[in-house]
Amino acid sequence: MRLPQEIIRDKRDGRALSEADIAGFIEGLTRDQVTEGQAAAFAMAVFFRGLSLDERVALTQAMTRSGRVLDWDLPGPVLDKHSTGGVGDTVSLPLAAMVAACGGYVPMISGRGLGHTGGTLDKLASIPGYDVAPGLDRFRQVTAEIGCAIIGQTADLAPADRRLYAIRDVTGTVESLDLITASILSKKLAAGLQGLVMDVKTGSGAFMAGRAEARALAESIVTVANAAGLRTRALVTDMDAPLASCAGNAVEVAYAVDYLTGRAREPRFHAVTLTLAAEMLVIGGLAADVAEAEGCLTASLDSGRACETFSRMVAALGGPADLVEAADRHLPRAPVVRPVTAERAGIVEDVETRAIGLAVIGLGGGRTRPQDAIDGRVGFTGLARPGDRVEPGDPLGTVHAADEAAAERAATALRAAYRIGTVSTPPREAVMERLG
């Protein structure tokens, strides 16, 4: 390959890179022939100069080929969903089971929490015994037998992405649309998918807060994925308020169990989950249209098939076989649980969702450094929604904390995240746009 510094210089000066240049640079990164400083310089050059469609496809495919690419021999389509992240977004847990119950296969490779957003992997890690990092053989076996398996990225899949992401995380280049696109899709292509549905969040709790930014990312992912041979469509969904009425790890697992059993199905969470899952069934050829897909998914919930599938997946990956029946007994519980009350009367006009995510981190439910341990017990439940009317002393939510001091700090942060006024504004549509 050409010298890394020559490739960096070309991109720094706005010149297009060839497929061979990009492939050589990523191969060098994988084999430690490209230094961290050179990778950081490359990421910064891409951040400021951008990549063409051809360059994005080349980067995505090079990172995909940096490790093992799975192939599947299954009687149904291999499908997945990926979210750009938010607060109270525990959709993946019920969705994977619902799609599997309708004939799809969902080998979902999920991530840890990033910034103020919660991570599916951290939620599953709060389940006693659940193995979030099984070997590929076990991953394949569980997917084939149960229909779904949710695990973390393994060392074998897209290792170049893992290294480049760690460098981006500390060099201020995480937000690059081009690098986000390649990072997401390289892992999905390495997983051997036949169809992908993207959930691109927008609002105060999303990385892409503005709708135009979210649409641009959705268009980039759909265009690059289809160019790379992966059928993909994207939804832009609302993250101006927590999607579920809770935020944390174990509390979100309990919420997902309640959703699957039918004990609680909040309308906005249900709308996003059902719509994403329906798009997966359509793109996989398991339903002729969204209406037919939603009928199958609703039946999977009402009959208990989706709940049973989730329960079997948890048990197959080392968790309790009776988690669904005895979630209160198995999931860790915080020693301090108390309501956070409103101090004035009025209507919830707005919620600073990002602040709620940061408050969960402050409780110990997220990381400020990569090596930090997660306290799966902590978080919030019963969060008030925009449009709710409250009186002094009414709960805005319930804090779950490790001690009284942490609970008091979190209560202060939660109250500050709510704007109580006199105007009731209509909520934004949960699913705002479809692309692809």
Q: Is 81 a catalytic residue?
A: yes
Q: Is 270 a catalytic residue?
A: no
Q: Is 202 a catalytic residue?
A: no
Residue 31: exposure state from Cβ atoms within 10 A (0-12, 13-18, ≥19): exposed
Check 65, 116, 188, 201 and give the catalytic one. 188
Q: Is 82 a catalytic residue?
A: yes
Check 30, 64, 83, 237 and give the catalytic one. 83
Please give the Cα distance from 311 to 377 (Å, whole number). Answer: 21
Check 21, 60, 80, 330 and give the catalytic one. 80
Whether the Cβ atoms of residue 415 and residue 343 lie closer than 8 Å to each other: yes
Other CB atoms closer than 10 Å to residue 288's CB: what's the count?
Answer: 10
Check 82, 116, 233, 354 and give the catalytic one. 82
Check 11, 56, 140, 168 and give the catalytic one. 168
For residue 293, give every residue at least 6 positions away whose Cβ sits within 8 Å of its Cβ, in sequence order, or none.
102, 277, 278, 279, 280, 281, 282, 286, 287
Check 65, 123, 163, 187 and give the catalytic one. 187
User: In which region does residue 308 sit, left (phi positive, over 0), alpha (psi from -120 to 50) or beta (all else)?
Assistant: alpha
Check 120, 126, 181, 186 and give the catalytic one. 120
Check 30, 183, 261, 311 and give the catalytic one. 183
Whether the Cβ atoms of residue 120 and residue 111 lie closer than 8 Å to each other: yes
Q: Is 188 a catalytic residue?
A: yes
Q: What are the φ and ψ backbone dihedral angles of 420, each rounded to 5 degrees?
A: -100, 125
Q: Is 71 a catalytic residue?
A: no
The token pair that represents 312 in the structure block = 């079997």
Q: Is 183 a catalytic residue?
A: yes
Q: Is 311 a catalytic residue?
A: no
Per DSSP, the three-state class of 78 is: strand
Compute, in degrees rounded to 10, the torsion defined by CA atoms 135, 140, 142, 148. Answer: 120
Active site residues: 80-83, 120, 168, 183, 187-188
